[in-house]
Chain A
């Protein structure tokens, strides 16, 4: 995503998808920080990872409770 594509309209509509109604006074700040995050994500997304690189967060099944 190009951070220059991020504007008040984009942020407001995307927030709607998260059930967030942004107060008008907050929109500029949210745009600013979302652009920062987008810039960071662009750097991460540009790094090639092969399909064997799994997520660092791995699920561990919960152990069964002890028998009575």
Chain B
């Protein structure tokens, strides 16, 4: 089977028990990247020398009888808004290429290194994370490995596509309004957007501090849980990071959906979805035996509030550069940033107050359900360069509307596993598995249950 033995769990096991060396694994990953990435444009930097050094350290640790780490030898790459020591942190931009190289790795990179994983490079994204398509004017579009003329989604498009193409078994991305969940859906891979404040953002270039999350992409639920467990823990360098201890999820995965109350999201999440998105949700619901539907009230308004907060905070972060050199921004997001700089304070403040109302209202739903299944994207991947898409007879702009289902959920920081629903011979599409705050364990158990039932799969794209 293509890709057998190349998933995170299989690689780590093989290196830990000596069947393979980390150096062999990393050489193979670098070779695959070298062969395939020119047609995909996932990577903006390949850190080959560092990778081989780290791999040698893992092999030396094992040879000396030391524990090489739970993720020993696993090659991984990160969205290029993560600080990598020695590289400027691009965040998808031309402006950031002028910055001095980072002096330290981001905290999550430090934790993956401590677990024995090996960094192989930095990945393409929408400029400053303000997009859902990874059509980057400066660095080129990232292509969907399942159809090279289609988008990979964004803003973590390079991250999702690299996993979908089997270049590496693990990548990291960020998600403010959907930037892990949208590309997971369009590229057909597993992704995790943890609870807001769960994983520290220390050492990453921000977008919207009120809404930014970080998380992993992999090709299986167990791999997702393993990566997530290795990264957990608080960090004082991120003011939004909760002072919670790590709550490992791997051990409980095999419990699957036992005892969990599962419902699908109705109303807003149905009226704006294509038939293929609705079918994906129903496939997941049938596999889980879920017959209930819940309505998340005022969801359209929640999405609007997230939009206002994003516009205002995103623009404020970049105000100095918008004042001095607006022409150096990505044309697809520049005018959005400029418009965001004009948002009156009263709009922003009202959106933040609505956020508190909405969070408490949705929390009430979790008295009666443990898991809510919703579409991740309204459609599967569109053609690169598309300006519009037609859904349920209505033609609308593609780029802002790919996140209509993800935005209201990240708005209130709920944990979500993005799960690819297998559709042989068709472009991938995924669902959101949503749980109450701090219950990533439930998201991952359901992801594992869907995988065990055969409805969730992330096969490596045939390239």
Residues of A within 8 A of B (CB): 11, 14-15, 18-23, 26, 29-30, 32-34, 36-37, 39-41, 43-45, 47, 49, 53-57, 60
Contact = CB atoms under 8 A, between A and B. Distances in A.
A40 B339 CA distance: 13
18 contacts: A15-B338, A18-B341, A20-B338, A21-B323, A22-B338, A23-B327, A29-B334, A29-B338, A30-B335, A34-B342, A40-B303, A40-B304, A44-B308, A45-B347, A47-B301, A49-B350, A56-B352, A57-B210
Contacts of B341: 15, 18, 20
B343 interface: yes
Contacts of B338: 15, 20, 22, 26, 29-30, 33
A18 B104 CA distance: 34
Given A53-B357, A56-B210, A57-B210, A44 B335 contact: no
Interface string B330-349: 00001110111111001101
B351 A41 contact: yes
B326 interface: yes
A30 B400 CA distance: 15
B323 to A, nearest CB: 5
B61 interface: no
Interface in B45-77: none
Interface of B: 210, 239, 298, 300-301, 303-305, 307-308, 311, 319, 322-323, 326-327, 334-336, 338-343, 346-347, 349-357, 359, 400
Contact of B307 (A18, A37, A55): A37
Contact of A40 (B308, B335, B346): B308
Contacts of B349: 55
Contacts of B339: 11, 29-30, 32-34, 36-37
Contacts of B355: 55-56
Given A15-B342, A20-B323, A41-B347, A29 B335 contact: yes
B301 A43 contact: yes
A24 to B, nearest CB: 12
Nearest to A35: B339
Rank and list the top 5 A-B pairs by shortest CB-CB distance, nearest first: A29-B335, A33-B339, A40-B304, A56-B355, A41-B347
A54 B23 CA distance: 54
Nearest to B210: A57
Contact of A26 (B311, B334, B351): B334
Nearest to B347: A41
B356 to A, nearest CB: 4
A55 to B, nearest CB: 4
Contact of A44 (B336, B340, B350, B359): B350
A29 B357 CA distance: 33
A21 B327 CA distance: 12
Contact of A33 (B335, B350, B359): B335
B93 to A, nearest CB: 17
B327 A49 contact: no
Nearest to B342: A14
Nearest to B351: A44
A55 B355 CA distance: 8
B147 to A, nearest CB: 30
A44 B343 CA distance: 13
